[in-house]
Amino acid sequence: MPQTKNRYMPGLDGLRAIAVLAVIAYHFGWPVASGGLLGVGVFFVLSGYLITDLLLEERRRTGRINLRRFWVRRSLRLLPALLLMLFAVTVYLALTAPGRLPDIRGELLSALTYTSNWYLIYRQVSYFESFGPLSPIGHLWSLAVEEQFYLLWPLFLWGIIRFIPFPTRGKLAAVTLVVAAASLIAMAFMYVPGTDPSRVYYGTDTRAFGLLIGAAFAIFIPSRKLAESLGRVSVLLDVIGAIGLCISLCMIVSVDKYDDSLYRGGMLVLSVASGLVIVASASPFSKIGKFLSWKPLRWIGIRSYGIYLWHYPVQVLMSPKNPYEDSNFLYQLAQFIMTVLLSALSYRYFEQPIRNGKLFKYKKKEKKKMKSKSMKKVIRIITLPAILMIVMICAACEGAGNNQPVHSIEPTTEANADDTGTTSDVTSSPTPSGTPESTSSMAPETQESGGVTAIGDSVMVGVKAELEKLIPGIVVDGKVSRQLSDAAEVVNLLKSENKLGHAVVVELGTNGPFTAKKLNELLETIGDDKQIYLVNTSVPRDWQDTVNKTLAKAPDEHSNVKLIDWHALSIGKSEWFTKDGVHLQPEGAKAYVKLIADTIG
């Protein structure tokens, strides 16, 4: 059977380089890449285009799509580097921090099965919020989304081609865009403004549209049509490519990850813009393609998969504290150099030899005999390390569990932060504050006509006892991982039980930002007849300033609102905080409560 032969398009490697550098800059916390997480979206569109282009070109040349060969070739491309990275991370943790292995055992196993994104969704692990040690393999969710696409999309194409009469490119493109629209609509409807968007960010169902838009571009404009000079059309390619590149770069530089518009059309804009760049870059005659073919960019792009794999483990494991808090440029430069070095070595001495078959050479005289068995040999080469990896992970985790106490086999929530600051980035689903999960002190004498009510998150939970000592009769309703968008439900419940005091203290913002609209809605729910005190936040995360600016504007717009400036009081008082920089030591709790009591008067 004739083999498919695909043309090398160097400009696409340049685009890969830009995407992976954007992601790294975002993880380093550089302001110049506030939207660097969109680099993953660029990868999705690029993968959708290339895979669809490859499959349809194979069908055009051979009359069929060889699914088995496609999946084996994908495995040879993706699995070796992944297994090597997971092996290195497991060994490193086993030697330096064996107690952490049980905590990431589920992530390791889900990484091997390419289900990381759904594991993180099931465990309610936030991509955006973190209170404690980060997982060094938390970035593998995006590879899981792509691998699931690689598994299902070829089957989808094969089914359409086989069972739909005369499946023209127009029909195929129409079906593809319908499925993409369904995914986009799912993201828009499932996203709740003012809350953590991790569910829609991780989900294969809500992110598939990026891959499918790339597929649609490949159906409409296959790369073979761009291989020859297009005359005046090349000018058009340059124009649309330049427009797409400018839009993509502007979004990477300026978009905020909590911007509502990002999840209600913004990622669609990025996907279409990326598609325009891909089409232009696929032509060897376009200026955009030549610009993106710059040798340093191509070098990075060729190794972008390995760079993406290694950058996050290096960043997390080489950082003495939370990577998002480490702004030392020289330290980050050292991490980047280490990442590039590891990925280059992996590419040169591990990935390429496996893809080229040099790790399982056989004698020429046995070539015919082995040819029929080559597929089985490849599968064995892929599966054996995976099996060994699983065994090693289980053994290492079991050993770690036996050698020292494990705080939690599964990640804990940020409310579990104690004096050691040990927490993780899991966020709990909100529940009504009257349930056992919330910390609430309902004093009988507190009625709507008087008294003080305090509503907050885990910081409020931590100071509950001090508040009750200093402000007798106060109602304290704090809940782990509570967002401001959850507070209206709490207020309505307290009102229905006639337990909302005349003075209401609101402490929210630890777990993420919120819009001024959401804050105003909460203030209206509390009511103009209440005196409201908003406590701003001191949290070493990138949403601190956004939260505090939003809160600072409220007193100017509402006569019954006052600001309690905890952030200003706590500056430079690191001894007041636990290691996560958010939750309070006893001395800090006393200062926090005294500030509230003095303000209320």
Per-residue pLDDT tens digits for 363-392: 444 444 444 455 555 555 555 555 655 655
pLDDT band at residue 419 using 50, 70 and 90 as cut-offs: very low
pLDDT at 597 over 50: yes
> Could you give the dihedral angle defined by the CA atoms of residues 152, 158, 162 and 167, in that order, rounded to the nearest 10 degrees?
100
pLDDT of amino acid 418? 40
pLDDT at 540 over 70: yes
Q: Give mean pLDDT, residues 80-91.
A: 94
Whether 458 sits among the annotated catalytic residues: the reply is yes
pLDDT at 48 over 80: yes
pLDDT of amino acid 166? 64
pLDDT at 422 over 90: no
pLDDT at 443 over 80: no
pLDDT at 269 over 50: yes
Per-residue pLDDT tens digits for 474-489: 999 998 778 888 899 9
Q: What is the DSSP letter of 33?
A: G
Whether 580 sits among the annotated catalytic residues: the reply is yes
pLDDT band at residue 513 using 50, 70 and 90 as cut-offs: confident
Mean pLDDT, the chain, as a whole number? 83
pLDDT of amino acid 543? 81
The neighbour count for residue 1, using CB atoms within 10 Å, is 8
Per-residue pLDDT tens digits for 112-164: 999 999 999 998 888 876 655 688 999 999 999 999 999 999 999 988 887 77
pLDDT of amino acid 417? 40
Point out the catalytic residue in the list 47, 458, 485, 570: 458
pLDDT of amino acid 406? 37
Residue 454: helix, strand or coil by DSSP?
strand
Per-residue pLDDT tens digits for 309-319: 999 999 999 87
Residue-range domains of the chain with CATH? 10-314+351-360+370-403 (no CATH), 433-600 (3.40.50.1110)
Q: HSE on the CB side for 43, CA within 13 Å?
A: 26
pLDDT of amino acid 70? 93
Q: What angle do CA 556, 563, 498 make, to 5 degrees?
A: 100
pLDDT of amino acid 393? 60
Q: Give mean pLDDT, residues 170-197.
A: 90
The residue with greater pLDDT, 360 or 522, is: 522
pLDDT of amino acid 97? 87
Q: Give mean pLDDT, residues 550-567.
A: 94
pLDDT of amino acid 420? 35
pLDDT of amino acid 395? 59
Q: Give mean pLDDT, residues 407-436.
A: 37
Q: Give mean pLDDT, residues 329-345.
A: 93
Per-residue pLDDT tens digits for 281-298: 999 889 999 999 999 999
Beta strand pairing call for 561-564 and 531-535: parallel
pLDDT at 446 over 60: no
Q: What is the DSSP string of 180-219?
A: HHHHHHHHHHH--TTS--HHHHH-HHHHHHHHHHHHHHHH
Sign of CA dihedral 110, 111, 113, 118: positive
Share of residues in the chain with pLDDT > 70 (%): 81
pLDDT of amino acid 557? 93
pLDDT band at residue 328 using 50, 70 and 90 as cut-offs: confident
Query: How many angstroms separate the CA atoms of 397 and 98, rounded?
Result: 8
The residue with greater pLDDT, 407 or 317, is: 317
Nearest C-alpha neighbor of 23 from the set 336, 413, 260: 336
pLDDT of amino acid 390? 61
Q: What is the DSSP letter of 349?
A: I
